[in-house]
Structure 1
Amino acid sequence: MTDSAHTPVHAGEDHAVEDADYGLETPLTGHPEPLPHVVVVGGGFAGMAVVKALANAPVRITLIDRRVYNTFQPLLYQVATGGLNPGDVTYFLRGLRLRQKNVHVVHEHLVEADHQAKKIRLLNDHWVSYDYLVVTAGVTTNFFGTPGAKEYAFPMYSRSQALRIRDNLFIRLEKAAKSKRLDDGLRVVVVGGGATGVEVAGALAELRTAGLAPAYPEIHGDAFEVKVVQRGSEILKAFAPELRSYAAEELTRRGVSLHLGAGVAAVERDAVVLTDGTRIHADLTVWSAGVHPHEEVSGWDLPQDEGGRIKIDDTMQVEGLPHVFAAGDIAVSPSGLPQLAQPAIQGGTVVGRNIQALLDGQPPQELRYVDKGTMAVIGRRAAIAEINLPGGRPLRITKGLAWLVWLFVHIMSLIGPRNRVTTLAGLVTRYGFPFHRRPVPIVGDVPTVRPPKHGA
């Protein structure tokens, strides 16, 4: 993988860059020798957990990420549907140094790894040596080879993608408002009936009924439609049957149409074609059907399974590579952890503890994953939650109580007090106040109307 914007490596030229170039060479007080170097690739849930677990360890940490911020992905759909600002769900990674001085953040991208020499090469051709390497680079959208999906569907796995959805949403609404056709509006198709698909569909329905109906009187009747397409016969298959039923009924009550039992055969510019031959008109197609590792992972000389995920053992070490760990969605262990936030956080924490154990001459410990449960929100005071109580007894709740639990968990999971306060204000404004039933959405970026230039 190369980038023409970077200086090429000339034959015979040593481009190995010492850690001092990243401000890490100076040893901490009381340590006459440079401390062991831990390199963490990826600043998501797992990567942040690794860094925090090593806060008091006698190590130097380099956190490398292609972006300068951490994204709280469970709330990206709120950005996409005008409920939150992008800054509410992102955290500046360099802010970690305000409380943790043994970490240094590098805005770069991993290109290749030489595990025998214990060093990695970044996109800028700098080589960084490591004593311990942790790969937590996350995953990206999986279109499953569906014709037209990559070209015409909108994924929602990053902040820029969420903003793109929001902008196109409002561009289409403004276009419909100017149209002379009464049936011209916005037809949104959400592909995927998992938690993300249900949450984005519910948020769009909330946006339509609470925020946009009075703002766009030009759009008549049911010209703003929201549909969910799911290959299986039910949505939210990871939840208990009674929770699935409640969610389906609540979505239907809110005007969301469910198309179940047929997958997507193709995505067109203005339609989604199902495997049973049905063609659904779509002005905007949101893709939330699955994820897979980035293609460049294959160049990192790490063992991968058929799906491209890095193979690790239950101590989170990469198979056959001592002192190399992986965690989060990019990794697959024998115990088969789900690709969710909690396994990533718990896995990253165990990685940090195991690095500390190895430094102390102790054997690494296996991850004992604690499934705390899962939840999904549908809309105003409507959510489902399955909480695993001590002893393995599940507590299943719905409606307003589940919404309050969902709100509390998501607010407390955010990084930084500012993000917690602004997100709480945004979500409560959108969903919570009974006297504030028509919140104004955060508008997308619609092109400015400009007069023609003279002489044009």
Structure 2
Amino acid sequence: MQKRLLIIGAGFAGMYAALSAARLRDLKGVTPDQLEIALIAPRPALVVRPRLYEAKPETMSAPLLDLLKAVDVAYIQGYVTDVDTDKRIVEAAGHPEDLFTINYDRLVVATGSQLFRPPVPGLAEFGFSVDSLEDAVALDKHLHKLAKQPESDARNTVVVAGGGFTGIEAATELPARLKEIFGPKAKMRVLIVDRSDAIAPDLGAGPRPIIEKALKDLGIEMHMKLGVAELTRTGVKLSDGSEIAAATVIWAAGIRAHPLTQKFAAERDNFGRLIVDRELRVPGLPGVFATGDSAKAICDDDGNFALMSCQHATRMGAFAGNNAAAELLGVSATPYQQKGYVTCLDLGSAGALFTRGWDRKVEMVGEVAKATKREINTVWIYPPKAERSAALASAEPSRVTDVG
């Protein structure tokens, strides 16, 4: 009787889970008729989410259908709406009238994360983001539309709410991007607003002077210890009562796991991630694995936890797919580990910043780091070619890159 391993999500973790499961299936000489590996997602494409802060966001996706076919992974179009872990069934929808169910023997939850949008007045109506492909395209269209309007302080001002990784990359890209859209003589104003005491709080004190200098060199204002209290069509009101005229507000203030994780009767962290063991199983839910931004997992023997990033998602996906398939094939699972950790922060025309280790030791800055960032963004994070042997080899858990 055919068994089915079902993967939910076509992001970095879902893609590598599918490739890794197919790799182990091949190694054990099992055919797709004996073990079906299926991936369900709204579209057969990898959204290159780490690049959505860049210009031309409509180009930031990579097709997956040929790759999945090359490794005999079935693609199911749709999105999962509910899960019954007792019956091992997921409920899904394609179009509003197209509802269906899928049985599974093993399940890998790789639904990723999404921007956290608190109930700030006006955020839903007037805020923009670079969280999804649709959001990034909407922002790009908005900026080009503004270029046709009369010049004003509001038109020429962009407020970025959030001084973390995403907020900094979005903000530092804007000066050059806005000059290209509005013209080289346009006087643009870009501000970062964050409630933290200092910029890039999660990166620590080591890299901060480099980031602060880059922001200063680019003319980007930092407004720390302040939050956005309200958005309107023409500006924002900050938590201290001050107001800024701005036609564009980009929200970049935190992410949460996809809401589907709430459907599982299991422990979750404050970000909504499912707590998993070292082999990425969800305790108490037999046959269920979670990976990528859907999972909170220890990634080394020092007790560090994987971050919600493509760097960790790619390797977590490879381990989750391998281990889910291993259970069905009767072989031992492999504990997830990812000892290496780096950051590579884009700083726009000011270059980039590359650090290594959890203490964020700075190794490269400026144009040298920028070259590495380009390599990451244009080569390393893209899917492998749709060639069977190379694609399967790329998903061996010990080979998946630590950089992203």
Answer yes or no: same fold by TM over 0.5.
yes
In structure 2, C-alpha distance between the alignment counterparts of 1:365 and 1:184, rounded to whole Å: 55
**Structure 1 unaligned regions, length at least 5:** 1-32, 419-456
- Asked if residue 354 in structure 1 is aligned to residue 328 in structure 2, the reply is no
Give the AA of the match of 2:171. A
Question: 1:29 maps to which residue?
Answer: none
What aligned pairs does 1:39-78 form with structure 2 within 5 A after superposition?
39-56=6-23, 57=25, 58=30, 59-78=35-54
In structure 1, C-alpha distance between the alignment counterparts of 2:53 and 2:271, rounded to whole Å: 26
Stretch deviating more after TM superposition (193-202 or 204-213): 204-213
Match of 2:81 among 73, 93, 111: 111
Residues 154-176 of structure 1 show CA distances to partners (whole Å, capped at 9, x for unaligned) of: 12211111010001111112112
- Asked if residue 37 in structure 1 is aligned to residue 13 in structure 2, the reply is no
Contact 1:142–1:292, Cα closer than 8 Å, also in 2: yes
Question: 2:176 maps to which residue?
Answer: 206
In structure 2, C-alpha distance between the alignment counterparts of 1:199 and 1:293, rounded to whole Å: 21
In structure 2, C-alpha distance between the alignment counterparts of 1:135 and 1:127, rounded to whole Å: 16
In structure 2, C-alpha distance between the alignment counterparts of 1:212 and 1:405, rounded to whole Å: 29
SS at match of 2:374: helix
TM-aligned CA deviation for residue 247 of structure 1: 1.5
What aligned pairs does 1:345-424 form with structure 2 within 5 A after superposition?
345-380=314-349, 382-388=351-357, 394-416=361-383
Residues 403-427 of structure 1 show CA distances to partners (whole Å, capped at 9, x for unaligned) of: 1111112222243589xxxxxxxxx
Aligned residues: 367
After superposition, the CA RMSD in angstroms is 2.4
Contact 2:257–2:294, Cα closer than 8 Å, also in 1: yes
Stretch deviating more after TM superposition (394-403 or 339-348): 394-403
Instruction: Using structure 1 for the length normalisation, give the TM-score.
Output: 0.75
Q: RCO greater where, 1 or 2, for CA within 8 Å and sep 6 or more? A: 2
**Structure 2 unaligned regions, length at least 5:** 386-404
Summarize the Cα distance change of 1:85–1:286 in structure 2 as closer, same or farther, 3 Å threshold.
closer
TM-aligned CA deviation for residue 242 of structure 1: 4.0
TM-aligned CA deviation for residue 183 of structure 1: 5.1
In structure 2, C-alpha distance between the alignment counterparts of 1:337 and 1:202, rounded to whole Å: 26
Summarize the Cα distance change of 1:331–1:97 in structure 2 as closer, same or farther, 3 Å threshold.
closer
Contact 1:385–1:402, Cα closer than 8 Å, also in 2: yes
- Asked if residue 93 in structure 1 is aligned to residue 64 in structure 2, the reply is yes
Residues 55-85 of structure 1 show CA distances to partners (whole Å, capped at 9, x for unaligned) of: 231331111112332101110111xxx3x35
- Asked if residue 134 in structure 1 is aligned to residue 134 in structure 2, the reply is no
Contact 1:94–1:104, Cα closer than 8 Å, also in 2: no
Give the AA of the match of 1:65. A
TM-aligned CA deviation for residue 248 of structure 1: 1.5
Stretch deviating more after TM superposition (129-138 or 63-72): 63-72
In structure 1, C-alpha distance between the alignment counterparts of 2:6 and 2:192, rounded to whole Å: 41
Summarize the Cα distance change of 1:416–1:140 in structure 2 as closer, same or farther, 3 Å threshold.
closer
Give the AA of the match of 1:200. A
Contact 1:37–1:60, Cα closer than 8 Å, also in 2: yes
In structure 2, C-alpha distance between the alignment counterparts of 1:360 and 1:68, rounded to whole Å: 27
Contact 2:291–2:313, Cα closer than 8 Å, also in 1: yes
Larger C-alpha radius of gyration, 1 or 2?
1
